[in-house]
Structure 1
Amino acid sequence: MTISTWRSSAAATAAAEEADSETPSVPAKHKAGSRAAQGMEQAFLVSSQGSPSMKGKKASSVTLSMEEYAELLKLKEDQQKSKAKQKSAEKAKKIQEDLAIQARNKALLEQEDGEESEQGSDDNSPPSKKQNQPPFAQMDSPAEDDAEMADGEDEDEDDPNMDQTNMDHTDEEHEAPEDGDGGSEEQELAIVNANPPKEKEDSDMKPNSKVDASKKKPKSKSKGQSEKNYKVVLDNFKSSDVLALAERAKCYLRTQICFGNWVLDSDEKRPNWVWSILNETPSILPPIASAMAAKGLEIAGEDDEVKKDLLTYVLYGKTCLFNNIITKVRQCIAGYFSLTTGSDANIKVKVEWLLTKSNFLYGGLDIKEKTVNRSKPFGNPIIRDIIQNIWFSTAKNGSKSDLMTTDVLVLLQEEQEKECKEAEKKKPQLGDFDETVKVGNFIEARPAQRMQGCISATAQFSANDTFGLAQVDNTIALKALSAAKPSKKALADGDLTFSQMSMAKNTFLNLIEKYKWHKKAAQALGDFFFGIEVHHMRQLSENGEKTLIHYQVQVRREWHDQLALGNGFNIGLINEVLINTIYSGILNELQVASINQAQHHQANRSAPYVLAPTHTTPESVTPTCFGMELPKHNARRTAAGDWSTQMGMSFAMTGTTAKVAHPHSKTIITSALDVEARNTALRTVLEHR
């Protein structure tokens, strides 16, 4: 039977083109085929491309036999299968390489742990779980999966050596691979063939839990153990209350492990720890769920079998969590630290350096330069990525336990944020202020209700001490009441020296930062004190520092008052006009105080002392005469009006002798009482005139 229609020819041509496009990926042993197939392929190529003599003309029909067409289909099928097998072989090879790297890493860990500790046993580690596929064994097309499944149907068999006890402590939602891809049976066979079943690994990944594979001995199971060697699932719990308690307690245990509350499997306190988790579970649940969990706890306390199953099931949460962490780490650690390339010796050197002093935990890690930043412990981004992928993953195919743990962590975070907000509300709040407005040029004085009374009390202050009774041991004693008063050395803000104000300022700024004041207010206060510290008034005047101290006292008090009223200003902006006003006021106060002091001194000056008379006339000395001698005469006027002159010796003074002042002869009163009596008599005479 022949095919001569145009439709069949076109279909065969399209099939040949598709086969030709896939030819480069076909192995060499399948490219030869039969001679008929080769000739048929060439015929299709000629018909599809067209001969030189047939260009521009309508393509003619191709005549094929049924046998040739069947051979073409078979060739295409062989090509697809060979391509799938080639990919499967490459994947298996990569899996083997990855497992070899893991084996080397484990050997290095055991070698290092052997030098540090000889502890460890089979009970120190949770059972290992089923091997999961690495990330590169995913994302196969459906056609390729079908081809692999068809090609490996005869080879797939269950491995009788698989350790079924490893599944006893796995969670239901973790029976499938973590990445959600079941993989192909060929890949599972490749893993089993590359790695025969081993003893249980230490999934806790702790350095001090070293187990030597050569020292492990298979445990013989007694009859009692075989009876109880079954997996506890939710169907074991007949009561809905116990079921609710089991699910919530398992999730709560995982959450406690996240915060570091967990014990080793070898610890004798482990059952008590799990039971404490069960007892705490009802207290963290909503009212309805809490009532159900509390009732389930009562049932477990009365039935030992239920309690035992409950403890076992809750412990699955720990094993499941650790296995999940190990799986995620194994998937990303090789690629992150570049352990998939290079020779075995080079990889060994890298791993040894990473394990030295736990270099893999630090940030700033550079494997090529072999440097880390010791100031960033646990700063490696891989730690953050693993935590995010396990507890905060947004994948839809995530496990139920992971989602529940994530929900609990989110609720805890919300609760902490709520507590922080409530604590923020309890703190005294400062009002907002305008950063562009500064304090006014004048600050009104505060009214004092009892200022006059305070002044009078100060004027009538008596220094007499008042005593009161005080008990000293078993004795009653008198104690001055002034001792219970505030210290006289306590100074007001305005009486502080500039150095004292500066020290108090530093303490104040540290405290507002400690008690979480608003950054806006803290910044304004910092600018305020800094402006006072560097102000030019400190160098220009001897009263400049006193002026600045008064300025900070008045402005700071005014700032708090205006904040309470909603009219806040920026205290950090210095008002020069107000500073000059305060300076003028201080100068006026000093002038007034100086005048008052002078008047007070004049009024309180005591009476002068009464002294004995002082002789101002020196003893008489015979004058030494110098000059011409003149005739003496004594000029007297007679009754007739003539002058008579008395002749005698006399000398004209030349000015070289000292002149002596002769006081008038009168009585000197030296008694204050006599002076007062004389004045009194004079007043009496004047009054009676």
Structure 2
Amino acid sequence: MPRITRDPNLEEMPDFDSDDFRTAFEALVTEGNTLDAIIQRSKDAWTASHQKKLDAWQAQVAEDAAEEQQLEAERAREEQERAAAQEEQRRLERAEKDKKKPKVKAFVANKPVNNFAAIRASQYALNKVKNLEYVELWYWTPDGCADAAIQDRTASSTVLALTSDDGAGRALFTPAAAHKASTKVVADEKISWRDMSIAKTGLLQSMKAEENWPEEHVVALGSFFLELDCHDLRRRDYGEDALLQYQAEVRREWQEQLRSTDDMVEPFDIGIINETRLARIYDKLLTQKQASGLAR
């Protein structure tokens, strides 16, 4: 059926009673077909035809509304599918990003560090907190920061080094300066108490800024430094030296356990001070000091 382009509700019945229509209808008048009968049949015919147009118009309007509703539902479905596809893409991107993150174990709450330090060869950990690796506190001391400022001005950022991405198992090129230890670095047990107090804040802030470090790990390390600050041993001769030695051993051991791939290794809670181990370190230090005094 051809589409109706004009609303029949706007149409009005012609004035069949007008002189013009009466004049036109007079030619049709017969003895059995009066003028009034002709006019009435014309009105009835127009009304019947107009009603058909109204019915067809109403059906067309209803059909248009149904089609528009269907189109709207289709658009809504397409929008939902597009939004779902975008969310799935974001989920996949987050999952891919999570795969590349270095993995760190959860530590066992209230589990103290071992009484004895593990025997190990000396090693240098990469100066990248984001890789969850051990790094000397010296890098956050005033001397360390000053040295970093000099290196930033002199080191070339265009020289690249081949490194391994532990998260995805792929090789990456990164600035070589990021993997070069300072020749001026001082071991944790050799720095002063003042330098440790300054550096620990910088280290904790750097860890907190890295999304790879869980908040509970940063809080645990912060508690560790607070326990050292408040320890009674600081009031005794060489006590701070013993606490520095304890810090150097335990923090390295903690971070190595966090990164361990051995399922048997359960990282300890670094915030719990092992007084037995600390006492052994202090006694050994006193013995060394006494031996040094006798040697003079």
When normalised by structure 1's length, the TM-score is 0.23
Where does 1:196-211 land on structure 2 (aligned, <5 Å)? none
CA–CA separation in structure 2 for the residues paired with 1:432 and 1:496: 29
Distance 1:509 1:526 in 2: 7
1:534 maps to: 230
Aligned positions of 1:87-98 closer than 5 A: none
Alpha-carbon distance in 2 for matches of 1:403, 1:503 = 59
Question: Which of 402, 407, 418 is the equivalent residue of 2:92?
Answer: 418
Find the aligned partners of 2:217 and 2:183 in 1 and give their Cα distance. 34
For 2:108 and 2:184, how far apart are their aligned partners in 1? 38
Q: Give 2:216's match in structure 1, choosing from 517, 520, 525.
A: 520
- In 2, are the aligned partners of 1:173 and 1:399 still within 8 Å (CA)? no
Q: Is the 8 A contact 1:173 1:400 kept in 2?
A: no
In the alignment, the residues of structure 1 paired with residue 240 and residue 290 of structure 2 have an alpha-carbon distance, to the nearest angstrom, of 18
TM-fit CA distance, 1:435:
1.1
Cα offset, 1:431, TM superposition: 1.9
TM-fit CA distance, 1:406? 1.7
Kindly state the Cα deviation for residue 489 of structure 1 after the two structures are TM-superposed.
4.5
Shift of 1:554: 0.3
**What is the aligned partner in structure 2 of residue 440 from structure 1?**
114
- Which residue type is aligned with residue 507 of structure 1? G
Aligned with 2:102: secondary structure? coil
Kindly report which structure 2 residues correspond to 1:384-463, keeping only aligned pairs within 5 A, or say none: 399-447=73-121
1:579 maps onto 2:278 in alignment = yes
- Residue in structure 2 matched with residue 594 of structure 1 by the alignment: 293
Contact 2:112 2:272 in 1 (8 A): yes
CA distance in 2, matches of 1:520, 1:401: 46
Deviation at 1:515, TM superposition (A): 1.9
Q: Residue by residue, what CA displacement relative to the aligned partner does 1:114-150 show, whole Å, maximum 9, x if unpaired?
A: xxxxxxxxxxxxxxxxxxxxxxxxxxxxxxxxxxxxx
Residue number in structure 1 paired with 2:269: 570
Match of 1:555 in 2: 250
The answer (yes or no) to whether the contact 1:528–1:571 under 8 Å persists in 2 is yes
Mark the CA change 1:513 to 1:590 in structure 2 (over 3 Å): closer, same or farther.
Answer: same
The 2-side partners of 1:430 and 1:553 are apart by 20
Q: Residue 525 of structure 1 aligns to which amino acid in structure 2?
A: L
Q: How does 1:251-266 map to 2 (within 5 A)?
A: none
Point out which structure has higher relative CO (alpha carbons under 8 A, 6+ apart).
2
C-alpha contact 1:174 1:399 (8 A) present in aligned 2: no
- What are the within-5 Å matches in structure 2 for residues 161-200 of structure 1? 175-176=68-69
Matched residue, 2:172? none
Q: Structure 2 CA distance, aligned partners of 1:500 and 1:490?
A: 13
Q: Is contact 1:509-1:526 (8 Å) kept? A: yes
How many residue pairs match? The answer is: 177
Letter in 2 for 1:522: V
Larger Rg: 1
> Using the alignment, how far apart are the partners of 2:89 and 2:254 within structure 1?
36
Distance in 2 between the 1:440 and 1:507 partners? 27
**In structure 1, C-alpha distance between the alignment counterparts of 2:66 and 2:117, rounded to whole Å:** 74
Larger fraction in helix = 2
Counterparts of 2:210 and 2:250 in 1: how far apart (Å)? 23
Where in structure 2 are the equivalents of 1:347-386 lying within 5 Å? none
2:204 is aligned with 1:509: yes
Counterpart amino acid of 2:281?
Answer: I
Q: Deviations over 1:146-190 (max 9, x none)?
A: xxxxxxxx9xx89xxxxxxxxxxxx987834xxx9xxxxxxxxxx
Residue 424 and residue 584 in structure 1: after superposition, are their counterparts in 2 closer, same or farther (change >3 A)? same
The answer (yes or no) to whether the contact 2:188–2:247 under 8 Å persists in 1 is no
User: Is the 2:113–2:274 Cα contact (8 Å) retained in structure 1?
Assistant: yes
Selected match of 1:498 from 169, 193, 196: 193
With the length of structure 2 as denominator, give the TM-score of the two structures.
Answer: 0.51
